[in-house]
Amino acid sequence: MPFSPTTIKRLGKEGLEITWSDGHHGIYPNRYLRDNCPCASCREGKPRRLLPIVGNPGEIYPLQIGVVGRYAISIQWSDRHDTGLYSYDTLRQLCPCELCQPSGAKDTAQ
């Protein structure tokens, strides 16, 4: 069984703190998660997003977080974009902590 999150804590406008089944945890800035939205329209548009972020780009935060089956979460962002399903695998790969992304690859991480 791959890792799965045990808790997902909203840190307001900062981001999400995710604690994993193996005890690992990481803080995901909202902006970073939104930029790495795995949905088809965002991915197709890489490196530029197809869907422009509405409003102040610094002010992106999740309006709603839902659990999808037992493999992913969905996030409705404050720009109303909500089609991304962040699978646990993807989330784990995205973990921006020093251990997971030693080169500080925050902005370009896959």
Partner 1 sequence: MTTVDDIRERLTEIRPPGFPRDIIGLGMVQSIDSHDGAVTIHLNPPAMPPSSLNATIADIRRAVGALDGVKEVTVRVQQAGAAPGATGAAAFNELGPLPGVRDIIAVASAKGGVGKSTVATNLALAMRQRGLRVGLLDCDVYGPSLPIMLGLTGRPRSAGNQRIYPLEKYGLRVMSIGFFLDDDSPVIWRGPLVMGLVRQFLKDVEWGELDLLLIDLPPGTGDAQLTLVQQVPLAGGVVVTTPQEVATLDVQRGIAMFQQVNTPVLGVVENMSYYECPKCGKREDLFGSGGGERIAAHYAVPLLGQIPLVPEVRSAGDAGKPIVIDRPDHPVSQLFVEIAGKVLDAVEAERAGTAAPTIIG
Which residue's CB is nearer to partner 1, number 21 or number 108? 21
Q: How far is residue 46 CA from its own chain's centroid?
A: 16
**Near partner 1 by CB under 8 A: residue from 15, 35, 88, 94:** 88
Work out whether 50 is an interface residue with partner 1 (CB under 8 A): no
* DSSP 8-state secondary structure symbol assigned to residue 21: T
Interface with partner 1 includes 90 (CB under 8 A)? Answer: no
- Kindly write out the interface string for residues 20-39 of this chain, putting x where it contacts partner 1 by CB under 8 A and - elsewhere: --------------------
Distance (Å, rounded) from C-alpha 36 to C-alpha 55?
A: 18
